[in-house]
Structure 1
Amino acid sequence: MDRKDFLASIGLSAATFAFINCAGCAKSSNAPSGDTSGPTGIDFTLDLNLPANAGLSNNGGHLVSNGVIVARTTSGSFVAAQRSCTHESYGLIYQPSASRFYCANHGATFSESGTVTNGPASRALTTYHTQLTGTSLRIYS
């Protein structure tokens, strides 16, 4: 291999490496939206009989709707909080076994009532009221 071929192959390898690393930076569904506050004016109802809401059929289940995580605690009550972390707006996960909301990106945790239990977040989640009437669950501000 002469010098010209060697430099050309290194250039191609470097370009391939850069492309692979940049492709890994693609925006994911858990990427921050930029807004760390919860949605306002929330008022919607979930029909618990619908298959789309089956995540709430059992204690510990949850779903996301309208920017809100709606969860059924291990004791069977319903809680609702903003979907995004107050630190950098990454999507939260509900962890029923720990009775908390968790941000997998930086490790922040929040109680079911929305208070910060572990940083780096320093501001509580916006939480919403829930009201169960028969099989209709209303979530509202």
Structure 2
Amino acid sequence: MDRKYFLNSIGMSAAAFALINCVGCKKTDGSSSTDTTGPTGVNFTLDLSRAANAALLSNGGSLVSNGVIVAKTMVGAYIAVQRSCTHESYTLIYQSANSRFYCSNHGATFSENGAVTNGPPSHSLTVYNTQLKGNTLKVYS
């Protein structure tokens, strides 16, 4: 095998490996890239006295339930938005210190009211209503 053929083979193998890995790592939540809207018919409750929901007892805490990010803002208000970015459905992260939702894939950001604050998304997040009664937080459309 000559040197040119050998180097060409290694380059093609590396390119194929990179392509296969990129296709496989796109999303971790199993949603399709065309599903950029939030779930519809949302209507669930969270018992804040349960350990599984303890993150919502502290300002800045958040959790994901039923395809929705539920968060307690730094000022103590409960908010809820769709879990996935409106650009390509990557999972969002609530960044309480910055009062925003962040997509680590393309750097998109959304305000706490769901508005796009940094592209590439062109439309806002679906926002859900929240209502606290005692230790029960209701999240609904």
Query: Could you say which TM-score interval applies, normalised by the shorter chain?
Result: 0.7 to 0.9
Partner of 1:89: 89
Identity of aligned residues (%): 56
Q: Which runs of 4+ in 1 moved over 4 A?
A: 13-16
TM-score (norm 2): 0.84
Partner of 1:47: 47
Secondary structure of 2:24's aligned partner: coil
Tell me the CA shift for residue 90 of structure 1: 1.0
The answer for unaligned runs of 5 or more in structure 2 is none
Partner of 2:61: 61
Pair member with larger Rg: 1
TM-score (norm 1): 0.84
Secondary structure of 2:44's aligned partner: strand
Q: What amino acid is the match of 1:139? A: V
Partner of 2:28: 29
Aligned: 1:118 with 2:122: no
Tell me the CA shift for residue 52 of structure 1: 1.1
Q: What amino acid is the match of 1:121? A: P
| Alignment size in residue pairs | 138
Q: Deviations over 1:12-58 (max 9, x none)?
A: x5686456422354244167533011111000000011111122121
The answer for unaligned runs of 5 or more in structure 1 is none
Q: Deviations over 1:71-129 (max 9, x none)?
A: 00001110000011111111111000010011111111111011111111110111000
Please give the root-mean-square deviation of Cα atoms over the aligned residues, in Å: 2.3
